[in-house]
């Protein structure tokens, strides 16, 4: 279970002094040796702290899994007081890193390296969005991706609060179809299995559209930022969405549900256990190559157009 880590991280981030440095200190105490923090200022004011943690696996030849905590900010001060719903992706990613470190300390090292990235901003802006307001960020998504997406990641889980919609109206955790090089591919059967086993329920699948896998800032509607890492990598990306029955604004405080955040973190840990030994395939490379041979490359969707 990752509940202890989840609650610890919620407490760590629930304050105006939340920072990348505090997260790095927490992860180092948890046993993560390789942690870096980069503070990036926004063009129009404000800043955010990008955190990157690399956890070494048992087999250096095994593929590297990326776990990305996507969000605009963990707080919306001064407009909102306290931790906001948008923080959940960061909480889950950090909790997963701490759990993996605890496992390694006890001798249960996962097969391959895991790189965990996210960013911490307790004073992020709120921006209009339909059907509920979203959290913005001091930095653009293009800048964020430079720090969140590492070329070493062979596949990425992108964890994001996904409650501000009317498309998936159940509390829990859902996964998206795999997105790779501009193609929306079939939902991974391996990841559906892991989600079933960790949740104890039938798996939820997040519906996505072509708009969602294009870069922010191109003037088209996006469900949210959950698949924005896919525009910055050739590796397959799967969104891990923390969902709700009602449409909940990302800027709402008091809206985080520890049980769902813990499930997202635990799912990521279980994927990390299976990915390095080939039991968590995100996609079939041969099928992607067949699609590309038949219909051509779709990488133009990863660009600004």
- CATH number (domain holding residue 200): 3.40.630
Full-model pTM = 0.97
- Reply yes or no on whether the pLDDT at 284 is more than 90: yes
Question: For the segment 125-145, what is each residue's pLDDT rounded down to a tens digit?
Answer: 998 877 877 788 999 999 999
Band (27; pLDDT cuts 50, 70, 90): very high
Band (15; pLDDT cuts 50, 70, 90): very high
Question: For the segment 91-100, what is each residue's pLDDT rounded down to a tens digit?
Answer: 999 999 999 9
pLDDT of residue 134: 78
pLDDT of residue 165: 85
- Reply yes or no on whether the pLDDT at 166 is more than 90: no
E-state strands within the chain: 34-41, 47-55, 65-69, 114-120, 126-127, 134-135, 155-161, 172-175, 179-180, 183-184, 204-205, 237-243
Band (21; pLDDT cuts 50, 70, 90): very high
Question: For the segment 28-57, what is each residue's pLDDT rounded down to a tens digit?
Answer: 999 999 999 999 999 888 999 999 999 999
- Reply yes or no on whether the pLDDT at 104 is more than 90: yes
Question: For the segment 185-229, what is each residue's pLDDT rounded down to a tens digit?
Answer: 999 999 999 999 999 999 999 999 999 999 998 999 998 999 999
CA distance 258 to 260: 6
Domain count, the chain: 1
pLDDT of residue 44: 81
Mean pLDDT of 15-27: 97
pLDDT of residue 2: 96
Radius of gyration of the chain (CA): 18
C-beta separation of 48 from 138 below 8 A = yes
pLDDT of residue 241: 98
pLDDT of residue 40: 97
Q: Which two tokens stand for residue 211?
A: 């708009």
CA distance 265 to 94: 8
Torsion over CA: 238, 242, 248, 253 (sign):
negative
Q: Which two tokens stand for residue 83?
A: 């931790």
pLDDT of residue 128: 82
Average pLDDT, the chain: 95
| Domain assignment of residue 64, given as a range | 3-302
Torsion over CA: 210, 206, 159, 242 (sign):
positive
């Amino acid at each position: 279970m990752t509940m202890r880590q989840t609650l610890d991280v919620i407490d760590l981030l629930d304050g105006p002094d939340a920072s990348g440095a505090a997260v790095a200190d927490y992860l180092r105490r948890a046993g993560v040796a390789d942690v870096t923090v980069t503070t990036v200022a926004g063009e129009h004011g404000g800043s955010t702290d990008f955190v990157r943690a690399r956890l070494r696996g048992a087999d250096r030849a095994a593929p590297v899994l990326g776990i990305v905590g996507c969000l605009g900010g963990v707080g919306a001060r001064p407009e909102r007081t306290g931790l906001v719903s948008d923080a959940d992706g960061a909480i889950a990613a950090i909790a997963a890193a701490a759990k993996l470190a605890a496992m390694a300390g006890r001798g249960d090292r996962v097969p391959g390296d895991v790189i965990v990235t996210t960013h911490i901003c307790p004073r992020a802006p709120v921006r209009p969005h339909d059907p509920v307001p979203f959290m913005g960020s001091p930095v653009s998504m293009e800048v964020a991706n430079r720090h969140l997406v590492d070329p070493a990641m062979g596949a990425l889980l992108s964890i994001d609060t996904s409650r501000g919609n009317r498309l998936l109206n159940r509390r829990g955790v859902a996964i998206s179809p795999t997105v790779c090089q501009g193609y929306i591919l079939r939902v991974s059967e391996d990841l559906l299995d892991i989600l079933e086993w960790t949740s104890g329920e039938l798996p939820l699948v997040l519906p996505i559209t072509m708009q969602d896998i294009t870069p922010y800032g191109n003037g088209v509607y996006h469900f949210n930022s959950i698949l924005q890492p896919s525009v910055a990598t050739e590796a397959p990306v799967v969104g891990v969405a923390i969902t709700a029955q009602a449409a909940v604004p990302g800027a709402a405080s008091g809206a985080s549900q520890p049980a769902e955040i813990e499930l997202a973190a635990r799912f990521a840990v279980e994927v990390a256990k299976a990915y390095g030994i080939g039991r968590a395939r995100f996609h079939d490379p041969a099928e992607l190559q067949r699609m590309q041979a038949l219909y051509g490359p779709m990488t133009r969707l990863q660009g600004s157009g």
